[in-house]
Amino acid sequence: MNSEAFARKRLVECCHMLYDRNLTVSAGGNMSVRINDREILITPSGVNKGLVREDDLVKMDMDGNVLSGGKPSIEHKFHLGIYRENPETNAVVHCHPLYCLAILTRGEDLKSTLTPEGVLLLDQVPTCRYATPGSDELVEAVMEYAHAPAMLMARHGAITQGRTLEEAYNRMEELEFQAHLQILAGNAEELPMSEIMKLREMR
């Protein structure tokens, strides 16, 4: 586990990278990291991810109590749910990536099997049903796919998780790359199933 000071530094760096790479815009999205078995840090509500600072981050316990800082993201409940469901997960990233949203608004499924990296980092990417941001219904929709390394959220965005913050970040970057590739490649064939199975064994 990370010390709180180190976790704050790394989470802010992650937020700035996500913003700089256009994976999220303005105050959209929310990111969190586990400090220990009982506590997480999460981005605050309504703060631009390109401007967020270490002391802006909110510390919470696994019961949803705020331990320090201001107001947590309204979507903190699905972060906590993913952590409870997956003890090996230490970071959760939720963004509104443009190409992922383009695929979602067209009603398409994401093809994560066009390249080896898509299979290795993402595997199959489910899409959870639409629900109002911040609602209990959204938490229920997300938790249906709580074990997925990456998922899309209908008309909303994407969530990735990882054993480290870097892994969760890399999955979000790869997710948007695969969505962009899918749009550019049109009806390109996916990798053969025999190759997909080989790659899955390498994960």
Give me the pLDDT at residue 70, please.
Answer: 87
Contact 79, 45 (CB under 8 A): no
Contact 27, 47 (CB under 8 A): yes
Pairwise CA distance, residues 63 & 35, whole Å: 14
CA separation, residue 8 to residues 27, 103, 150, 155, 161 (Å): 18, 33, 23, 30, 17
Structure token pair of residue 60 = 């919470």
Give me the pLDDT at residue 132, please.
Answer: 95
Task: Give the residue extent of every domain in the chain.
Answer: 4-202
- Write down the CATH superfamily of domain 4-202: Class II aldolase/adducin N-terminal domain (3.40.225.10)
Here the contacts of 11-17 (C-beta below 8 Å, separation 24 or greater) are: 11/41, 11/43, 11/57, 11/165, 12/52, 12/53, 12/54, 12/57, 14/91, 14/93, 14/165, 14/169, 15/43, 15/49, 15/50, 15/52, 16/49, 16/50, 16/52, 17/169
Pairwise CA distance, residues 98 & 158, whole Å: 10
Name the catalytic one among 4, 39, 75, 85: 75
Q: Which stretches in the chain have pLDDT values below 50?
A: none
39 catalytically annotated: no
Give me the pLDDT at residue 2, please.
Answer: 66
Give me the pLDDT at residue 126, please.
Answer: 97
Give me the pLDDT at residue 69, please.
Answer: 77
Give me the pLDDT at residue 1, please.
Answer: 61
Pairwise CA distance, residues 20 & 4, whole Å: 24
